[in-house]
Structure 1
Amino acid sequence: MGYTFDDRKYPVIVGIDFGTTFSGCSYTLDKSDEIYDVVSWPDQKRSVYPKTPSLALYEKGSTEMVAWGHQARRLANRPNSYHFILMSKFKLFLDAHMQDAELPNDLQVVDIIADYLRGLMDHAKIDIHRRLAGMYSEEHFRYCLTVPAMWNDRAKSMMREASIRAGMISYEDPMERLLLTSEPEAAALYCQRKSSQFNLKHGQRFMVCDAGGGTVDLMVLEINHPPGSPQTLREVTRGHGATCGSGLLDNRMRHYLMDKLAYVEVPEESLDQILDTFVNAIKPEFDGVEDHYLDLPANMGLGDITDSRMGLDQGTLWLPARELKDYVFDPVINQVLDLIEGQLEQSPRLEALFLVGGFGQSNYLFQQIESAYASRIDMIGVPPRGELAVVRGAVYFGRTPQVVTERVSRRTYGVETRMLFDDRLDPVEYMVVGLDDQRFSRHRFSVYVTKGQPIKIDECVSKKFVIRYPNGTDSDLFAYDGDGPPPRHVKDYDIKKVGKFPIKMPKIPGAQPGDRVKIEINMYFGLTEIHIECVIADNVFNFTSAFDASM
């Protein structure tokens, strides 16, 4: 690329795992081997979980955040809190299927995330200044944020925009001051540090299953560690995922309870209390064998009631293991198993599978994966402190992003251009005649990289085009998600515009109106975000990611 990032200006590396239900932050100094985790959060009380809830609280009719994290939940649970709106799981609104959903208070998801990140970083800065003795200010920070592997380019662009609005970086900062990496890739870097512990060697492959509160993301990587060289990783499969995290268990449990208690009236606050017990006591320990019993809240008035239809005995609710498996756990875990199968289809050879993330610590999830795949995968394990794998991996990536040397393209990318007209394949309405009487077809899809293609992180895909002086041009980036050959024209229904980058014609000495000017478009697809470089007469224009968060 046309410039070099000077990381010496930013010696403090901050990793942020912005999660659907909980978020975490870790950091280090560039030359230090020690990673510090932010484990103390405002209003944390007795909770020992090292992350803070991904919650933001607003007053009705206002777009100004009142509180975040634990404090947001505490204020929302107070009596007479009807004038508050508690936003939860708002990360999911960046999913491709929910990006156009309407939010209350005319809130925009980018602004909610920005508000939340600002609150999180304001607190994290206190921890950083205390641990590092106030030697560094935030102008010395560089960041790495993790994103789901399933996110599209628009979602990544919105995440970068939210970080800017949060005040973490500015539009003028170098792109590399804020890096994005996929959640399973970050977790893989954490697992890589444990590879000697698991006896993984050069050429061996491992899968990371990052199972969190909202999404489950997977990826297979191969260890590259020839004698005398530093250890690196390369992606082997297209990372993918689905919205089947532990939050889906909570939703299914809510419906299960409503069906089970259908013969009595259950106040919403009582149902929330029961679900809290499920989340904190039953879900982590569920093994598929032992039945569970719930003491219902006193405000339900069921302390003296026994009803066999509901499994109720004097205010205690019987939850058979078989029902919990059939109605709550197995429908979600089967989705996780399907995702694992999809990765194995891409890479049948696999030496290990690592479970990380909050949901990844589930005993029952581990049992089911081991039961299904122990005969095909030599080692299935849960690394220590797996709930911190992603955020610590983000710090590792922020320090040495070159450790992942090769990635696999999730989509087919290209630009719109004109090519020679073919009577058999091009619609006549697309035909234009050039100055030299040659016939061209408009709206042709000029492919730069295909879905599933391995790409090295520094690999440049370059193409040359011609435009007329002194006209600039707005070039568009298009993507195709199908597995077969890409369509011929960008107007095809299956091709989506994912970004645009305006190219302004520079002044060229001696050039006359109508002169043909060569333009070179270089694209770098080996990074988590796409980087585009346009060159006209030694003038370089740089663009990042999807370029337009509104697209």
Structure 2
Amino acid sequence: MAGSALLVVAFDFGTTYSGYAFSLRDKPLNVQTNQGWIAGSDQLISLKTPTCVLLDPNGQFDSFGYEAENHFATLAEDNEHIGWRLFRRFKMILHKNEDLSRSTTVEDINGRSMQAMTIFTMSIKYLKQHFTTTINKQKTGIVDTDIQYVLTVPAIWNDNAKQFMREAAEKAGIEKARLKLSYEPEAASIWCQTITTDVQETWSKVGRQYMVIDLGGGTADISVHEKQIDETLKELHKASGGPWGGIIVDNNYLEWLTKIFGNTTMQKFTSKQMEDYFQMLRDFEIKKRSVTPELKGKFTFRLFSSIKELYQESNMPPLGKRVADLGLSGMVTFSSDKLRVDVSVVKQWFETPINSVIEHVQHILAKQNMQTVETVLLVGGFGECKLVQDLIQRELKSKKIIIPEEAGLVVLKGAVRFGHYQDTVRSRIMTHTYGMATFQNFDEQKHKNAEVKFINGKKKACNVLRTIIQAGEEVNIGKCVSKGPYTPTDPDETTICVYCTEEMYPEYSTDVGCKHIGTLKVAHANGLSKDDNSLQASFIFGDTELLVKAVNIKTKEEFSTYMDCL
């Protein structure tokens, strides 16, 4: 059933690029993307804009995206950028960051720190305001309470990163009740159910199992789904992946240029010729998608005169000799405004992320319960690269590889559809084991490594982790897991401490990798015995937050809290 929101808008807040898309309730599949991002002086129109934020010398928000890059570059050209602060590609601070908190900081391009929450909030607020301006030009009478907001996040993120994004969105002015997080590979899977092509039946028939590989700028996000008879999706393998996105190729390119031109030249180029530097990165973003496996000979890049002039000023040997000294004679040539590089060199820049993705995917598909997976959907901006597509097809010969049209927008469009039909995903595979720290009667065989305390004269093993739900377990969305009864050890209150870990069989809450994610304190009724204050604990596994409830079995008094992972 469609939701009640008149309009759904989804924000794809990416490592390299961000954008949004939306559709109305009466035409949910008529998804519109913003067409108005102006990519620099050449007036190139882009469907997404760079994820970067510019602050003025007072620390106030100035601009976002292409506008931020261009403004900062102009200031730098006139040497008026002192005090201004540009933050780029800061989303990766959330990936696998066990120490993430509300006070975590990110650095601008000059290494100066600022609270990450502030920068993320500014970014989402800008996207929200840009969307509001766009929709008000098209439709009249739509107010904020008519809108369902969706924010895409990698499925492989930890709970703390997902909570961080949610809080940033709320600080940006999005009401909690009208905000949903959508896991990126799930969104891609949802959208691909709507595509009407000859190959649709490959993955859209009931019972068909398929893998989704979402290759973005920062991460590779991989899930496996099965289509159910009620049109919902069931996850078959826990979300997995790693930091194997397109920015690795960008970094390899920059490192290679640094090897050619030297540290001094590149540092001056990135700081004094910032407009050329940003344009070079934009050019490379387009060029790298056109690298194909059939390419031979040399690949041509635009070479800015400013970088050649800076090189000549650095007292380095002539470029021809420099190339020869590096053993690249015949593989690298220069002309007036062109840098021509042998394709074999260019392809090396792609090897690390692609090989990591392929190795990981092969490891998943080799598992016994994955043998019936026949199809692989490849989506995401990095997934649009022809070289990436070919290498994955070559290594996964036994699978049917499908690359949807506009693969870089599939996640965004799917997130919009998810906002209209939020019950599309039936179940997920738990990525972590969740448990409670408990005291147990000491057993020499079971508790050899436990800390021991005497409580009310009895020898107790401390911090024993009682599993609530286990990593790898299938969980229906909104599933409630109840544990108990628990007899208090303290007459005044019971403290329920919840932990999570990637390990399937943790023993103690003090184990390496076991993280405390929240506490629920339950006050006991005065005058009742400990037995009469016994508790039943329930854990509700929802979309993005873990709700913990405790009920006094005798008095029926209920206590609850959402786990605070930050």
Query: In the alignment, which residue of structure 1 is the partner of 2:44?
Result: 47
**In 2, Cα distance between equivalents of 1:428 and 1:371:** 51
Letter paired with 1:159: M
Whether contact under 8 Å (1:93, 1:99) holds in the other structure is: no
Query: In the alignment, which residue of structure 2 is the partner of 1:77?
Result: 73
Is 1:386 matched with 2:407? yes
CA separation of 1:519 and 1:129: change in aligned 2, threshold 3 A: farther
Whether contact under 8 Å (1:215, 1:243) holds in the other structure is: yes
CA separation of 1:461 and 1:98: change in aligned 2, threshold 3 A: closer
**In 2, Cα distance between equivalents of 1:109 and 1:284:** 31
CA separation of 1:494 and 1:94: change in aligned 2, threshold 3 A: closer
Letter paired with 1:156: K
Task: Note the residue ranges of structure 2 that are not aligned, 5 or more in a row.
Answer: 313-317
**In 2, Cα distance between equivalents of 1:334 and 1:511:** 65
CA separation of 1:414 and 1:428: change in aligned 2, threshold 3 A: closer
Q: 1:163-182 counterparts in 2 under 5 A? A: 163-169=169-175, 173-174=176-177, 177-182=178-183
Is 1:486 matched with 2:509? no
CA separation of 1:348 and 1:124: change in aligned 2, threshold 3 A: same
Residue 474 (structure 1) shift = 3.8
Is 1:13 matched with 2:4? no
CA separation of 1:541 and 1:145: change in aligned 2, threshold 3 A: farther
Letter paired with 1:248: I
Is 1:320 matched with 2:321? no
From 83, 103, 107, give the equivalent of 2:106: 103
Is 1:36 matched with 2:21? no
CA separation of 1:27 and 1:277: change in aligned 2, threshold 3 A: closer
CA separation of 1:27 and 1:520: change in aligned 2, threshold 3 A: farther
From 160, 167, 176, give the equivalent of 2:166: 160
**In 2, Cα distance between equivalents of 1:408 and 1:548:** 20
CA separation of 1:108 and 1:203: change in aligned 2, threshold 3 A: same
CA separation of 1:63 and 1:538: change in aligned 2, threshold 3 A: farther
From 117, 123, 127, give the equivalent of 1:120: 127
CA deviation digits over 1:68-92, x for unaligned, max 9? 1121111111122243221111111
Task: Note the residue ranges of structure 1 that are not aligned, 5 or more in a row.
Answer: 1-5
Letter paired with 1:213: G
Is 1:547 matched with 2:564? yes
Residue 518 (structure 1) shift = 2.5
Residue 439 (structure 1) shift = 4.2
* TM-score w.r.t. length of structure 2: 0.84
**In 2, Cα distance between equivalents of 1:67 and 1:111:** 14
**In 2, Cα distance between equivalents of 1:42 and 1:366:** 27
Query: In the alignment, which residue of structure 1 is the partner of 2:440?
Result: 419
CA separation of 1:42 and 1:262: change in aligned 2, threshold 3 A: closer
Coordinate RMSD, CA, aligned: 2.8
Corresponding residue SS for 2:237: coil
- Aligned residue pairs total 521
Residue 263 (structure 1) shift = 11
Q: Report the more deviating stretch, 287-296 or 300-309.
A: 300-309
Query: In the alignment, which residue of structure 1 is the partner of 2:147?
Result: 141
Corresponding residue SS for 1:103: strand
Residue 189 (structure 1) shift = 0.7
Q: Report the more deviating stretch, 348-357 or 108-117.
A: 348-357
**In 2, Cα distance between equivalents of 1:474 and 1:195:** 53
From 206, 222, 229, give the equivalent of 2:226: 222
Whether contact under 8 Å (2:23, 2:32) holds in the other structure is: no
CA separation of 1:205 and 1:422: change in aligned 2, threshold 3 A: same
Whether contact under 8 Å (1:253, 1:275) holds in the other structure is: no
CA separation of 1:474 and 1:56: change in aligned 2, threshold 3 A: farther
Query: In the alignment, which residue of structure 1 is the partner of 2:304?
Result: 297
Query: In the alignment, which residue of structure 1 is the partner of 2:63?
Result: 67
**In 2, Cα distance between equivalents of 1:281 and 1:429:** 58
Residue 22 (structure 1) shift = 0.9
From 543, 548, 562, give the equivalent of 1:527: 543
Residue 531 (structure 1) shift = 3.1
Corresponding residue SS for 1:160: helix
Q: 1:349-360 counterparts in 2 under 5 A? A: 349-360=372-383
Query: In the alignment, which residue of structure 2 is the partner of 1:409?
Result: 430
Query: In the alignment, which residue of structure 2 is the partner of 1:517?
Result: 533
CA separation of 1:514 and 1:459: change in aligned 2, threshold 3 A: closer
CA separation of 1:319 and 1:458: change in aligned 2, threshold 3 A: same
Whether contact under 8 Å (1:406, 1:526) holds in the other structure is: no
* TM-score w.r.t. length of structure 1: 0.87
Q: Report the more deviating stretch, 276-285 or 70-79.
A: 276-285
**In 1, Cα distance between equivalents of 2:537 and 2:189:** 32
Is 1:365 matched with 2:388? yes
Residue 50 (structure 1) shift = 1.1
CA separation of 1:263 and 1:123: change in aligned 2, threshold 3 A: closer
Query: In the alignment, which residue of structure 2 is the partner of 1:58?
Result: 55
Corresponding residue SS for 2:35: coil
**In 1, Cα distance between equivalents of 2:470 and 2:382:** 33
Corresponding residue SS for 1:135: coil
Residue 99 (structure 1) shift = 5.1
CA deviation digits over 1:149-185, x for unaligned, max 9? 221111111111111111112xxx44xx322221111
Residue 112 (structure 1) shift = 0.9
Query: In the alignment, which residue of structure 2 is the partner of 1:248?
Result: 248
Q: Report the more deviating stretch, 255-264 or 394-403.
A: 255-264
**In 2, Cα distance between equivalents of 1:123 and 1:84:** 23
Whether contact under 8 Å (1:206, 1:350) holds in the other structure is: yes
Whether contact under 8 Å (2:3, 2:420) holds in the other structure is: no
Corresponding residue SS for 1:124: helix
Query: In the alignment, which residue of structure 2 is the partner of 1:188?
Result: 189
Corresponding residue SS for 2:210: strand
Residue 7 (structure 1) shift = 5.8
Residue 278 (structure 1) shift = 4.8
Residue 196 (structure 1) shift = 6.5
Whether contact under 8 Å (1:305, 1:314) holds in the other structure is: no
Is 1:93 matched with 2:93? yes
CA separation of 1:458 and 1:98: change in aligned 2, threshold 3 A: closer
Whether contact under 8 Å (2:93, 2:106) holds in the other structure is: no
**In 1, Cα distance between equivalents of 2:249 and 2:98:** 20
Whether contact under 8 Å (1:213, 1:359) holds in the other structure is: yes
Residue 343 (structure 1) shift = 2.6
CA separation of 1:12 and 1:533: change in aligned 2, threshold 3 A: farther
CA separation of 1:433 and 1:240: change in aligned 2, threshold 3 A: same
CA deviation digits over 1:296-315, x for unaligned, max 9? 21222489975562633443
**In 2, Cα distance between equivalents of 1:516 and 1:468:** 12
Query: In the alignment, which residue of structure 1 is the partner of 2:461?
Result: 441
Identity of aligned residues (%): 24
Could you list the runs of 4 or more consecutive aligned residues of structure 1 that deviate by over 6 angstroms after TM superposition?
A: 302-305
Whether contact under 8 Å (2:280, 2:302) holds in the other structure is: no
CA separation of 1:51 and 1:313: change in aligned 2, threshold 3 A: closer
